[in-house]
Copies of this chain bind each other. A is one copy, B any other.
Amino acid sequence: MGFDFKEISPYDRPKAAKTTNAKKGDVMTNDAQANQLPHVVVIGAGFAGLAVASALASSPVRVTLIDRRNYHLFQPLLYQVATAALSPAQIAQPVRSIVRRQKNCTVALGEVVGIDAVHKTVRGHAGEIGYDYLVVATGAAHAYFGRDDWAAVAPGLKTIDDATHIRRRVLHAFEQAETTEDENLRRALMTFVVVGAGPTGVEMAGAIAELARHTLRGEFRHVDPAAARIILAEAGPRVLVAFPEKLSNRAHRDLEKIGVEVMTGKGVSDCSAEHVVMDGETIPCRTIVWAAGVKASPAADWLGAAADRAGRAQVAPDYSLPAQGDVFVVGDTAALTDAKGRIVPGLAPAAVQAGKYVGRVIHARVTGAAPPAPFVYRDDGTMATIGRGKAIALIRGFGFGGFIAWWMWGVIHIMPLVGFRNRVVVAIDWFWSYLTHARGARLITAPKDKGADL
């Protein structure tokens, strides 16, 4: 980006610059007053970062919200972009538009490369910005457990670009299968391997199965897309291990019903452009989707903070760093066991709760009020979707599956979408897909020089 953070915030500008226009007198006074206020810099406009910023809307602070993308992404639905059901814009909303009414919040587009905790500055590619309080909410990326060379052949699913990349690979595989004469190649092209049976892996496998068995039916003349093999590989003993065994088993059966081969207890020992090796067995395939693990963004490194095995910073009960009380780490970048002894999970609701909490902590610090009680994660329930009409849910110890769970999953995932229009349009898209199996975003788009990436 070549971004100069010095230029981002009005608060860091030399005062001289403010005297150039006499007509702006009143505003200048306000600006000058505003400049006295503590500066809260939030890195990352995901669920946690946005929650912090909006929790500070009425606080006597200036907020600068930095992200390297111009949009907030509703990550729980990203797999629907990867499988051509939704368009990127339907699950992404410009950050500026979300905070447009919050006058104490400035948005900066740029990438952070480091943090200087001594001088209290955030470094961008070509400059830096000072802070009084810093909130790091930079999320997580894929973890290949030391095999980073697999990233090229087994893309993960964290960004819009990841999703359109996977969409392109999956759709291209069917196109190539339609045209090849080589039976072995065709079989490899029609084999899709999803590694990792957490919620993302289960959703991806289920959605690829539906794409093959229903959406593409009747569209090819030489191959039957329904003959595609969709393999869900899981090193652990069962799918969706965060759920009770009974629900896991139900999800397992549901996956098999919609045509996914579930292989539990099978560790992946090699990935290449032509095959995956599981438990000694080599399976020729051309599309691998990685959903086996995440590691936190390098924020703990930047901060010199203690981190757990997944790279998440160890934080105090109020999400501050033990050694740097004016720095907070929140969301998927932080590791915390809450006041009730439960590990805060890497889920969107937890990130929102933690973000709001950190907002309250900072508000208390700047106003001198009593700090809030230590953070307690409120588990409103977790759910995972498997496919059309199939999901499992666990709400306050009550587990159930089937159509009702799926319907609830849909409502719960549509409601938080930013913007009324997106809610309506996504609901229509889903309802239409449900009726017809059609998927509305089956575009193979790529810059021309990228056309040969398969």
Binding site for B on A (CB under 8 A): 1-4, 7-8, 10, 13, 17, 69-71, 87-90, 92, 94, 96-97, 100-101, 106-110, 160-161, 164, 171, 175, 179-181, 216, 218-222, 419-422, 424-425, 428-429, 432, 438, 440-448, 450-452
- The one of B2, B89, B420, B432 that contacts A87, using a Cβ cutoff of 8 Å: B89
- The one of B69, B70, B97, B175 that contacts A438, using a Cβ cutoff of 8 Å: B97
Which residues of chain B come closer than 8 Å to A2, judged between CB atoms?
A: 452
Query: Quick one: given A100-B219, A161-B448, A428-B425, are A442 and B7 in contact (CB under 8 Å)?
Result: no
Q: Do residues A100 and B7 form an inter-chain contact, with CB atoms below 8 A?
A: no
Which residues of chain B come closer than 8 Å to A4, judged between CB atoms?
A: 179
Which residues of chain B come closer than 8 Å to A108, judged between CB atoms?
A: 179
Q: Do residues A3 and B448 form an inter-chain contact, with CB atoms below 8 A?
A: no
Which residues of chain B come closer than 8 Å to A101, judged between CB atoms?
A: 218
Q: Do residues A10 and B222 form an inter-chain contact, with CB atoms below 8 A?
A: yes
Minimum Cβ distance to chain B for residue A294 (Å): 19
**A–B Cβ pairs within 8 angstroms, 7 of them:** A69-B444, A70-B443, A71-B442, A88-B445, A94-B442, A97-B438, A425-B440
A428 to B335, CA, bound (A): 42
Query: Which A-B residue pairs are the 3 nearest by beta carbons?
Result: A89-B441, A87-B87, A96-B219
- The one of B107, B429, B438, B447 that contacts A425, using a Cβ cutoff of 8 Å: B429
A197 to B28, CA, bound (A): 42
Q: Do residues A180 and B7 form an inter-chain contact, with CB atoms below 8 A?
A: yes
Which residues of chain B come closer than 8 Å to A440, judged between CB atoms?
A: 89-90, 419, 421-422, 425
Minimum Cβ distance to chain B for residue A230 (Å): 20
A438 to B10, CA, bound (A): 27
Beyond known contacts A1-B452, A97-B219, A161-B445: 17 more, CB 8 A cutoff = A1-B451, A3-B179, A7-B179, A8-B179, A70-B442, A71-B443, A87-B441, A89-B443, A90-B440, A108-B179, A110-B179, A419-B440, A421-B429, A421-B438, A421-B440, A424-B428, A425-B425
A124 to B417, CA, bound (A): 44
A96 to B432, CA, bound (A): 19
A8 to B92, CA, bound (A): 38
**This protein's copies in its complex:** 2
The closest CB in chain B to the CB of A3 belongs to B179
Which residues of chain B come closer than 8 Å to A161, judged between CB atoms?
A: 445-448
Which residues of chain B come closer than 8 Å to A89, judged between CB atoms?
A: 87, 440-443
Which residues of chain B come closer than 8 Å to A94, judged between CB atoms?
A: 219, 442-443
A217 to B176, CA, bound (A): 46
Query: Quick one: given A13-B181, A90-B87, A179-B3, are A218 and B452 in contact (CB under 8 Å)?
Result: no
A220 to B107, CA, bound (A): 8
Give the most central of A97, A100, A106, A428: most B CB within 10 Å: A97
Minimum Cβ distance to chain B for residue A199 (Å): 24
- The one of B8, B70, B164, B175 that contacts A444, using a Cβ cutoff of 8 Å: B70
The closest CB in chain B to the CB of A1 belongs to B451
The closest CB in chain B to the CB of A111 belongs to B451
Which residues of chain B come closer than 8 Å to A219, judged between CB atoms?
A: 94, 96-97, 100, 107
Give the most central of A89, A108, A443, A446: most B CB within 10 Å: A89
A96 to B7, CA, bound (A): 49
The closest CB in chain B to the CB of A99 belongs to B219
The closest CB in chain B to the CB of A6 belongs to B181
A161 to B444, CA, bound (A): 11
Which residues of chain B come closer than 8 Å to A70, judged between CB atoms?
A: 171, 175, 442-444
A164 to B443, CA, bound (A): 13
A400 to B8, CA, bound (A): 48
A179 to B419, CA, bound (A): 26
Which residues of chain B come closer than 8 Å to A450, judged between CB atoms?
A: 447
The closest CB in chain B to the CB of A222 belongs to B10
Minimum Cβ distance to chain B for residue A50 (Å): 15
The closest CB in chain B to the CB of A97 belongs to B219
A447 to B448, CA, bound (A): 12
Minimum Cβ distance to chain B for residue A139 (Å): 16
